[in-house]
């Protein structure tokens, strides 16, 4: 994984970009990072193609050729699996619900950083990481919390999302006034342990 802290040392922000972050009604953006899942069967091929060509997720010989080939071969089979559960993944629905309730809670317990707004940044299907950060930029948040939805850290999952964000800001310019926080793992958080019933996990 690239050193994410180097984001703050990217090139100077333009005044227009900075002003959008400073004049926002959204004070804190909570960006929920995940792999994502196709919402309908027509998205399956694009989803598989992005996975199979992501060098963080997997490294194949002749990946630019073999990856798309595997995605094409697997599309029909995977579409049938999604059709069996209603035609698509429910992950966007539940992530949005979790994000909404989380931000309502944060507004109450941390008014100094409110208003909070959640954003979903999927790696392999819309809303994609890059388009999500375009929206964060338009909304002008002055604080961004990158919240990995993977309990454990892995270069192949959360690491891929962080690298995508790094690449985005290399192209778009990182505003110096933006406060950035990262939650990249939480596998030992007491509430998670309680929720899954692992009493003796250390």
Burial of 61 (0-12, 13-18, 19+ CB in 10 A): exposed
CATH number at residue 176: 3.40.50.1400
Residue 10, in any domain of the structure: no
Q: Return d(Cα 161, Cα 80) in angstroms, integer.
A: 28
Task: Compute CA 182 distance to the chain's CA centroid, rounded to the nearest angstrom.
Answer: 11
Residue 104, in any domain of the structure: yes
Q: What is the pLDDT along the chain (202 residues), one digit of tens a residue?
A: 443 444 443 333 344 434 433 444 899 999 999 999 999 999 999 999 999 999 999 999 999 999 999 999 999 999 999 999 999 999 999 999 999 999 999 999 999 999 999 999 999 999 999 999 999 988 989 899 999 999 999 999 999 999 999 999 888 777 778 899 999 999 888 888 888 876 555 5
Same domain? 51 vs 147: no
Residue 45, in any domain of the structure: yes
Give the chain's domain count: 2
Residue 47, in any domain of the structure: yes
In the chain, which ranges are continuous DSSP H helix?
15-22, 44-52, 63-84, 91-109, 129-139, 158-172, 190-196
Residue 125, in any domain of the structure: yes
Same domain? 133 vs 185: yes
Closest CA to 178 of 19, 3, 4, 2: 19
Residue 4, in any domain of the structure: no
Residue 5, in any domain of the structure: no
Residue 14, in any domain of the structure: no
User: Which residue range(s) make up the domain with 197?
Assistant: 25-39+88-201
Same domain? 160 vs 102: yes
At residue 199, the pLDDT reads 58
The length of the chain is 202
pTM: predicted TM-score of the whole model, two decimal places: 0.82
At residue 200, the pLDDT reads 56
């Amino acid at each position: 994984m690239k050193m994410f802290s180097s984001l703050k040392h990217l090139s100077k922000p333009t005044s227009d970009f900075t002003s959008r972050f400073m004049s926002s009604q959204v004070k804190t953006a909570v960006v929920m990072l995940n792999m994502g899942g196709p919402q309908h069967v027509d998205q399956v091929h694009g989803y598989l193609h992005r996975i199979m060509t992501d060098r963080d997720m997997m490294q194949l010989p002749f990946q630019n050729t073999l990856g798309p080939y595997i995605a094409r071969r697997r599309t029909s089979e995977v579409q049938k699996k999604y059709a069996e559960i209603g035609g698509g993944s429910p992950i966007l629905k539940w992530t949005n619900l979790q994000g909404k309730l989380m931000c309502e809670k944060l507004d109450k317990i941390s008014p100094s950083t409110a208003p909070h707004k959640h954003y979903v940044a999927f790696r392999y299907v819309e809303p994609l990481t890059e388009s999500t950060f375009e929206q964060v930029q338009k909304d002008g948040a002055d604080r961004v919390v990158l919240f990995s939805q993977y309990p454990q850290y892995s270069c192949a999952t959360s690491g891929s999302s962080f690298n995508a964000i790094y690449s985005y800001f290399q192209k778009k310019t990182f505003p110096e006034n933006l406060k950035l926080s990262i939650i990249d793992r939480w596998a030992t958080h007491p509430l998670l342990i309680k929720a899954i019933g692992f009493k003796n996990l250390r």
